[in-house]
Structure 1
């Protein structure tokens, strides 16, 4: 009998790297282990650095993805890496919605008004002349 089967349902545990892989939050188990070792994963607010860390039902896992953090609550351990619909049953997504555009911080990527692109070569030369930079004007 496996160790997971010996424990009562409320005490089911699973390695965090396996769970991240089964829940489809990482593409492979080795990538899941690397992200845990890199410190990209927190369990109940505490950073986790060991891929063998045991997750329990009810734990809150924060995963740093490429452009945002994902906060999920563990609902059950995974048995296999199945389709998305099956993997979605392993967790409850608690990620807060993104802030409206006007409330975002100034440290985010700068954007420009729609329709305004880079200046043309002529506009750059005019700007250089106004600022007093020597240009390649042929007079």
Structure 2
């Protein structure tokens, strides 16, 4: 008997996987509402309540920011530095900001351009958020060309 991962048509309450002619499996979600209905236990209700409260705090904190765009501006740069460091770059946030301000010193890392490319791609992707359907936001080949 084939295992669940090898089956050509695996089913679950959430949906089913169907083997495609190319060999890949596609997930086909089950119709909503689910049958039998979802039962919210006390534990699940508490977790949902905690998540809802955390989202409320996050939403409330946005109201205290005088300029949310400035926060996003710096957050993108911090993310670019950290992600680039995973790939082995030596540039810091200070190096990136100096390069963007065109205040480079002889000690500036040569790989700061890699971080700048990451910022460019991230800003390009953020600009596309309002245009792309949710289903393809996770895979956007044009982000690679932004570099």
TM-score normalized by structure 2?
Answer: 0.24
* Higher RCO structure, 1 or 2 (CA under 8 Å, sep 6+): 1
Larger Rg: 1
Between Structure 1 and Structure 2, which shows a larger proportion of strand residues?
Answer: 1
TM-score normalized by structure 1?
Answer: 0.25
